[in-house]
């Protein structure tokens, strides 16, 4: 199952399932890579593995939506990362 890093709170990592949006709590020490909001991870053989391809696809999709929004809506001074967080966390 794939998850997105919802947020990091101290030593806790809150993950959200891409399938059903269920929350999962993990410890920061269980990850052997640097964490940041929006990363996509998968659990394989009991370990958290970064899914960089899925992350890139999601970011490109949101970037494309952002470009369409800029053309069709009133312009705001949002960066792609700010828009990514807005779309992801409020969808």
> In this structure, are residues 38 and 56 in contact, taking their beta carbons and an 8 Å threshold?
no
Same domain, 59 and 21: no
Same domain, 35 and 12: yes
Same domain, 64 and 78: yes
Q: Which two tokens stand for residue 6?
A: 């919802």
Same domain, 64 and 83: yes
Q: Is the dihedral of CA 53, 55, 57, 59 positive or negative?
A: negative
> In this structure, are residues 46 and 77 in contact, taking their beta carbons and an 8 Å threshold?
no
The domain of 62 spans 54-89
Same domain, 42 and 12: yes
> In this structure, are residues 24 and 3 in contact, taking their beta carbons and an 8 Å threshold?
yes
Question: Over the chain, what is the mean pLDDT?
Answer: 85
* Structural domain count of the chain: 2
d(CA 82, CA 85): 5
Same domain, 6 and 32: yes
pLDDT at 32: 93
Tens-place pLDDT, residues 63-87: 888 777 777 655 566 677 776 666 6
pTM (global) more than 0.75: no
Which of 6-10, 20-24, 40-44, 84-88 has the least mean pLDDT? 84-88
């Amino acid at each position: 199952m794939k998850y997105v890093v919802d947020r990091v709170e101290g030593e806790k990592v809150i993950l959200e399932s891409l399938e059903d949006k269920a929350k999962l709590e993990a410890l920061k020490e269980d990850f052997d890579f640097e964490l940041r909001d929006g990363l996509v991870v998968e659990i394989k053989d009991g370990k958290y593995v970064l899914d960089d391809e899925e992350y890139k696809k999601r970011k490109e999709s949101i970037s494309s939506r952002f470009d369409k929004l800029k053309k069709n809506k009133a312009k705001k001074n949002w960066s792609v990362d700010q828009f990514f967080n807005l779309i992801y966390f409020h969808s």
